[in-house]
Amino acid sequence: MRSMIYVLGGAPVTDERNFKRLRASREELHPHLKIADFKAFVREQFFILKLDRRKALEALPTMLEGATNEQIDAHLAHIEHVLMASGTPGERAAQRLETIRAYFDRARPPQPSPAKATPGAAKPAVSEPAALDQKSENEKADPQAKAATPAKAEQQASATSQDQPASKTTSKTTTTKASTKTTKDAEKP
Question: What pLDDT does residue 146 have?
Answer: 45
3-state SS record for 131-175: HHHHHHHHHHHCHHHHHHHHHHHHHHHHHHHHHHHHHHHHHHHHH
| Rounded CA separation 117/89 (Å) | 42
Per-residue pLDDT averaged across 116-123, rounded? 49
Task: Identify the H or E element spanning 69.
Answer: helix 69-84
Domain boundaries, the chain: 2-107
Residue 99 has pLDDT above 60, yes or no: yes
Highest mean pLDDT pick, 57-61, 114-118, 125-129, 133-137: 57-61
Residue 52 has pLDDT above 70, yes or no: yes
Instruction: Measure Cα distances from 169 to 158, 160, 163, 181 in Å.
Output: 18, 15, 11, 18
Residue 128 has pLDDT above 90, yes or no: no
Question: What pLDDT does residue 26 have?
Answer: 79
Residue 170 has pLDDT above 50, yes or no: no
Residue 140 has pLDDT above 90, yes or no: no
Residue 132 has pLDDT above 80, yes or no: no
Question: What pLDDT does residue 39 have?
Answer: 86
pTM of the model: 0.53
Per-residue pLDDT averaged across 135-157, rounded? 46
Confidence label for 51 from pLDDT (cuts 50, 70 and 90): very high
Q: Who contacts 45 (Cβ-Cβ below 8 Å, separation ≥6)?
A: 1, 2, 5
Per-residue pLDDT averaged across 44-69, rounded? 94
Q: Is 76 or 33 the better-scoring residue by pLDDT? A: 76
Q: Is 38 or 101 the better-scoring residue by pLDDT? A: 101
Per-residue pLDDT averaged across 31-41, rounded? 87
Q: Are 164 and 170 in contact (CB under 8 A)?
A: no
Residue 47 has pLDDT above 80, yes or no: yes
Per-residue pLDDT averaged across 82-101, rounded? 86
